Amino acid sequence: MLVKQYNLITLFGAIFLVFLASTDLSFAKSASILDNPAFAPSGSKLTSIPIGHANFCKERPTECQSNKMKEATASLNQNKWQELLNVNSKFNASIIPITDQELYGVQEFWTYSNGYGDCEEYVLEKRRALIGLGWKASSLLITVVRQANGQGHAVLMVRTDRGDLILDNQASLIKVWNDTPYRYLKRQSQQHSAQWVDIIDNRTTIIASR
């Protein structure tokens, strides 16, 4: 069953990549990629840091530094797309979901997974795995969203030259940010992994979950 599901995801990925390649992507080289809706627009000023991430940075300061090797967007090709598919599928399948309250006895505790975890653990593991594959930290952004039920949630936003792609433990498919059923609130800064910026999500309609 898992093999069949993975093949479907891979097939979707190939179709998705062909679709992206067929669109006008000249915006990636323009002065402002935010003119294109495939990119989530962010504010120019820093915003508050999620308490869980602030504590994570206190414990692991070397992972929360200025991004010396910055890139505005990661170049997406078939190999890179496959890496995203593999990493998303691997951790969605291998981590058993459980709340921080159940696991650690606190409301918010961000850390690497010991086989269990909530949305932040999925995000941290995926981010670490992609960095290990050579992706730049500046294009792998922990992002906080609000679900339709009002609850907070964390996803990994991968900023590519084809748009902002979302790796989500609640979805097997990787989608462009504005094709997900969330209201986007804030994300890590591309300049510094310990800083956060607002996302200006002015969409009047949020895509329904499907």
Give pLDDT, residue 44.
83
- Residue spans of the domains in the chain: they are 2-199
**Angle formed at CA 205 by CA 85 and CA 29, multiple of 5 degrees:** 55
Q: How far apart are CA 131 and CA 141, in angstroms?
A: 11
Task: Write the pLDDT tens digit of every residue in 69-83.
Answer: 889 999 999 999 999
> Above 80 in pLDDT, residue 119?
yes
Task: Write the pLDDT tens digit of every residue in 136-195.
Answer: 999 999 999 999 999 999 999 999 999 999 999 999 999 999 999 999 999 999 999 999
Closest CA to 170 of 101, 110, 95: 95
Question: Is residue 12 exposed (0-12), middle (13-18) or buried (19+ Cβ within 10 Å)?
Answer: middle
Decide yes or no: CATH 3.10.620 for domain 2-199. Answer: yes
Check: CB of residue 41 under 8 Å from CB of residue 185: no
> Above 70 in pLDDT, residue 7?
no
pLDDT range class, residue 204, cuts 50, 70, 90: confident
